[in-house]
Amino acid sequence: MKKVLFAATLITALSGCQMTNQSEADWKQDNKIEMMNAKVELNSAIWIDQMPTIGEDSDESKVNFALGLSSKQVIAPELNIERVELRQGDDSWEVTEEEYEARVQDNHNWEVAGQTFHTLDASKKVDIAIKASGEWIIETNVSVDTVY
């Protein structure tokens, strides 16, 4: 009896771990979702900055992004931006917390702005995912602009 109870407990625990271990974005998700009692929409701009910088010898291109979260309802002030991911083709990567910041513009508009040094192909579209307070919001097929 103890063995059966132990086995049942172990199976339940392992299946629970498996269900909660979902760290990747659902890239089929919409750019409009219900989040903390507000319908939030993601509108993204991404561009490659190829302008030379005074005092830098490197010609490394910088990828800049401005990810707007907007809602007709008030966006909860306790909304927590947990993760930002970019994907182009088969390649995807997480933008580190040091590479972006969340800015509250007003009660209805937030912006996640940042800069990273990942290599992007400006001729191909990008998918962008934000995980905020446990919810994913995704925008796909975002055009990449280039600034010279």
pLDDT tens-digit series, residues 70-128: 999 999 999 999 999 999 999 999 999 999 999 999 999 999 999 998 889 999 999 99
Q: Which helix (H) or strand (E) holds 60?
A: none
The pTM score is: 0.78
Look at residue 13 in the predicted model and tell me its pLDDT: 41
Look at residue 24 in the predicted model and tell me its pLDDT: 76
pLDDT band at 8 (very low <50, low <70, confident <90, very high): very low
pLDDT tens-digit series, residues 14-44: 333 333 333 478 898 889 999 889 999 999 9
Structure tokens at 35: 């989040």
What architecture (CATH level 2) is domain 24-147? Answer: Sandwich (2.60)
Look at residue 54 in the predicted model and tell me its pLDDT: 77
Residue 59, pLDDT > 50, answer: yes
Extents of the domains making up the chain: 24-147
Look at residue 148 in the predicted model and tell me its pLDDT: 85
Instruction: In whole angstroms, give the CA distance from residue 113 to residue 45.
Output: 10
Number of Cα atoms under 13 Å in the Cβ half of residue 66: 9
Spatial neighbors of 12 by CB under 8 A, at least 6 apart, are none
End-to-end CA distance of the chain: 72
Residue 62, pLDDT > 70, answer: yes
Look at residue 118 in the predicted model and tell me its pLDDT: 87
